[in-house]
């Protein structure tokens, strides 16, 4: 059914890479011209960091079917690793310290992925909580990680690549955008490759996967490693480009849940889903606060905002799970199909 | 692996032979041609697969008790029996999902206490499942191509960057998958998600996934369960055609005695975990113990005295 609909749609005539390419061009050229610093600081930077984290978690949870509640821990590992590489190795280029920090996160991901060889579903999710608590505890307990800073809160270094400084909101936005575009492209290549199909095979039926000769254990650990790598780099963007401080408190369990919600609302096993979900999660509280202020005025203070956010977000998640388990992506595709059919018949 | 390479070479020749596209030959024609892959000496040759004194129990429930069974190269070997007779347990022992308490499996001369599941595909064994075990989130083509995943030698980095042998490997796998899809008349649905297919086609897609690896031993766990009579005879024709085209030995578990009688070369009958009969369809059909197991035994105490 869906195959027929795609054939009918006018978009099918256009190459698949055109839409993402136009979007990237828009993000590089138009947005820096029209955006103000509020747009970059409050919306686009957290959106980019959370989208990337969503892409990373989607590889693990959406594609490979391993539920994880430790995303924020891998973000923290990435952020602190990048900070320490930058601090302790003189003259290390930023790109190298980002890649190294991703590798550190990947290594931690493999360690905490080991229980997945025996545990499944809910039990695995609980065991990944260990990563969440352990990493946060270690970063707080050993002040070496934060260079013995008294407050535990440290300023992120300036972003510069090959002498070019990414200063100001626009610079940091372009830096984050570049990292996200590159990693998302690689992630897309991965999930459409043989390895990506092995992930799906293990998710859908791991006994059958084992019997047809897919190396299940290796593939699961690979999913943990790649996912943690991407989430770790997302942590670097979060700390270096968005917050510009590195502190363990921002990478708590709430953040892990937030990333999990992003992929559930956006759509599991979909790269686009991570971006749609992140957009909703980032824009939604801001929109709610604007709307609350507009409708209720002073009564709508930050306490009420926080509470109403939780209520509405919770309701939204329940609604999504019931009405559209495949997430915003499925909704998007359906609307798009309807529109193109309507356009054709008119 | 010299042995398997040799096998692939021989099978490739048969896959690309023009007559492969003349699919679904009726049984009579096949016999007239006498194009069975089996060599004349194979009847006496060492069995491809043998169970020796297999015992398996779950807690106090005996699933299999001292089962001996041998499978000759090139034959279609059926295992039948009433519900709970231990048929699926037997298939799970061959594929290493269960480890028998006693006895061992002899496969191609090697003896296993537990068959190594991870290496099964490399040993030339493929199977289907009683409850559909397709990967629902993949297209039919990708499902079938995944049957060749064990042969993949490129790593994930090479696949992401598209360098090295990745491209050639993928083309080859898809090409083979396409051939098997055509052979089983599944080409029309190749791009659909496996989970969206009707039941009968899913069963056939699972057969395709098992066949694409050109296994020496194909295990079918109730391939016709839940099918209509028409679908069953269609499936039986596909199984026979697959055996003939891919030179595969088939071990088949089935409920429907009628279909099995027409399809198999030899039949073993299990009841309460024991083998009660083993022979050609005719021998089995006339075996008194088989009739008793299937139809029940008239009680000696029909008048109910003493109850």
Q: Worst-scoring range by mean pLDDT, A2-16, A231-245, B268-282?
A: A2-16
The CATH number assigned to the domain holding B158 equals 3.40.50.300
The structural domain count of chain B equals: 1
- Predicted confidence (pLDDT) per residue in A269-307, tens digit: 999 999 999 999 998 888 888 888 888 777 777 778 888
Percent of chain A with pLDDT over 90: 54
DSSP 3-state assignment of A159?
coil
Most B CBs within 10 A among A3, A205, A213, hence the mutation to make, goes to: A213
- Predicted confidence (pLDDT) per residue in A185-194, tens digit: 999 999 999 9
Most B CBs within 10 A among A4, A202, A208, hence the mutation to make, goes to: A208
- Predicted confidence (pLDDT) per residue in A48-69, tens digit: 999 999 999 999 999 999 999 9
pLDDT at position B306 is: 52
Kindly report the backbone phi and psi dihedral angles of residue A87, in degrees, each rounded to the nearest multiple of 5, phi listed first.
Answer: -75, -40
| Confidence check: pLDDT of A73 > 70 | yes
Shortest distance, CA A160 to any CA of chain B (angstroms): 26
| Confidence check: pLDDT of B21 > 50 | no
Contact B239, B249 (CB under 8 A): no
Residues 142-201 of B with CB under 8 A from A: 142, 145-147, 149-152, 154-156, 159-162, 166, 169-170, 173, 191-192, 196
**What rounded mean pLDDT belongs to chain B?**
80
Kindly report the backbone phi and psi dihedral angles of residue A224, in degrees, each rounded to the nearest multiple of 5, phi listed first.
Answer: -60, -45
pLDDT at position B30 is: 38
Tokens of B91: 């298939």
Residue B108 lies in a domain: no
pLDDT at position B302 is: 54
| Confidence check: pLDDT of B48 > 60 | yes
b/e per residue B81-94 (b: at least 16 CB within 10 A): beeebbbbbbbbbb
A245-246 and A154-155: which strand pairing?
Answer: antiparallel
Rg (alpha carbons) of chain B, rounded to whole number: 20
Angle, helices A121-141/A71-88, rounded to nearest 10 degrees: 30
Residue B304 lies in a domain: no
pLDDT at position A151 is: 72
- Predicted confidence (pLDDT) per residue in B27-37, tens digit: 333 333 434 44
- Predicted confidence (pLDDT) per residue in B202-255, tens digit: 999 999 999 999 999 999 998 888 888 888 999 999 999 999 998 899 999 987
pLDDT at position B8 is: 39
Residues 299-338 of A with CB under 8 A from B: none
Residues 206-265 of B with CB under 8 A from A: 209-210, 213
Shortest distance, CA A32 to any CA of chain B (angstroms): 30
| Confidence check: pLDDT of A10 > 60 | no
Helix, strand counts (H, E) of chain A: 16, 4
Residue B263 lies in a domain: yes
pLDDT at position B27 is: 38
Residue B126 at interface with chain A, using a CB cutoff of 8 Å: yes
User: How would DSSP label each residue in B189-255?
Assistant: GTTSBGGGS-HHHHHHHHHHHHHTT--SEEEEESTTTT--HHHHHHHHHHHHHHHHHHT-EEEEE-S
Residue B307 lies in a domain: no
Average pLDDT over residues B281-290: 87
Residue B165 lies in a domain: yes
- What pTM value is reported for the model? 0.85
Range of the domain at B33: 2-44+74-99+113-295
Contact B127 A189 (CB under 8 A): no
Query: For residues A332 and A318, what is the distance between their CA atoms, to the nearest angstrom?
Result: 19
> Could you give the angle at the alpha carbon of A332 between the alpha carbons of A291 and A238, nearest 5°?
60
Domains and CATH numbers, chain A: 2-345 (1.10.3470)
């Amino acid at each position: 059914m869906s195959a027929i609909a795609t054939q009918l749609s006018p978009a099918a005539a256009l190459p698949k890479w055109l839409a993402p390419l136009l979007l990237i061009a828009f993000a590089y050229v138009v947005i820096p011209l029209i955006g103000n610093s509020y747009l970059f600081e409050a919306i686009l930077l957290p959106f980019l960091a959370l989208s990337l984290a969503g892409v990373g978690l989607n590889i693990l949870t959406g594609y490979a079917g391993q539920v994880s509640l430790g995303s924020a821990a891998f973000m923290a590992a990435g952020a602190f690793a990048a900070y320490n590489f930058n601090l302790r190795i003189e003259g290390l280029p930023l790109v190298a310290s980002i890649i190294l920090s991703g590798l550190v996160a990947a290594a931690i991901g493999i360690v905490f992925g080991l229980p997945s060889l025996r545990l499944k579903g809910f039990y695995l999710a609980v065991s990944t909580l260990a990563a969440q608590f352990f990493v946060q505890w270690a970063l707080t307990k050993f002040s070496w990680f934060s260079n013995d800073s008294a407050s535990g809160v440290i300023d992120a270094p300036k972003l510069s690549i090959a002498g070019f400084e990414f200063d100001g909101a626009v610079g940091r936005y372009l830096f984050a955008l570049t990292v996200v575009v590159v990693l998302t492209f690689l992630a897309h290549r991965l999930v459409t490759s043989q390895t990506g199909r092995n992930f799906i095979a293990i998710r859908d039926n791991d006994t059958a996967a084992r019997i047809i000769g897919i190396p299940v254990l290796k593939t699961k650990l690979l999913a943990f490693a790649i996912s943690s790598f991407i989430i770790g780099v997302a942590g670097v963007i979060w700390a270096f480009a968005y917050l510009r401080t590195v502190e363990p408190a921002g990478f708590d369990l709430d953040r892990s849940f937030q990333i999990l919600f992003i992929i559930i609302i956006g759509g599991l096993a979909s790269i686009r889903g991570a971006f749609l979900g992140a957009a909703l999660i980032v824009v939604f509280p801001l929109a709610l606060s604007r709307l609350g202020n507009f409708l209720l005025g002073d009564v709508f203070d930050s306490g009420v905002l926080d509470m109403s956010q939780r209520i509405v977000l919770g309701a939204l998640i329940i609604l999504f799970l019931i009405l559209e388990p495949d997430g915003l992506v499925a909704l998007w595709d359906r609307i798009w199909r309807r529109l193109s059919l309507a356009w054709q018949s008119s | 692996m010299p042995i398997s390479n040799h096998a692939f070479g021989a099978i490739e020749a048969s896959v690309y032979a023009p007559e492969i596209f003349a699919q679904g030959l009726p049984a009579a024609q096949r016999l007239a041609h006498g194009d069975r892959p089996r060599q004349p000496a194979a009847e006496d040759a060492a069995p491809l697969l043998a169970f020796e004194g297999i015992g398996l129990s779950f807690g106090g429930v005996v699933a299999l008790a001292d089962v001996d069974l041998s499978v000759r190269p090139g034959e279609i070997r059926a295992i039948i029996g009433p519900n709970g007779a231990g048929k699926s347990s037997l298939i799970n022992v061959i594929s290493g999902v269960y480890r028998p308490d006693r006895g061992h499996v002899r496969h191609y001369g090697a003896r296993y206490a537990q068959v190594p599941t991870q290496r099964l595909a490399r040993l030339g064994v493929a199977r289907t499942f009683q409850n559909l075990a397709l990967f629902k989130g993949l297209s039919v083509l990708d499902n079938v191509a995944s049957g060749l995943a064990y042969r993949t030698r490129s790593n994930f980095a090479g696949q992401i960057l598209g360098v090295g042998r990745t491209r050639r490997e993928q083309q080859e796998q898809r090409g083979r998958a396409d051939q098997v899809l055509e052979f089983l008349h599944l080409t029309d649905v190749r791009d659909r998600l496996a989970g969206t297919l009707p039941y009968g086609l899913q069963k056939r897609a699972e057969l395709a996934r098992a066949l694409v690896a050109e296994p020496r031993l194909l295990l079918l766990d109730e391939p016709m369960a839940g099918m209509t009579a028409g679908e069953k005879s269609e499936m039986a024709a596909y199984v026979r055609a697959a055996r003939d085209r891919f030179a595969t030995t088939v071990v088949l578990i089935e409920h429907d005695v009628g279909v099995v009688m027409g399809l198999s070369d030899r039949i073993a009958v299990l009841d309460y975990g024991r083998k009660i009969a083993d022979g050609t369809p005719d021998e089995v059909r006339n075996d008194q113990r088989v009739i008793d197991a299937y139809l029940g035994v008239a009680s000696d105490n029909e008048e109910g005295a003493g109850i």
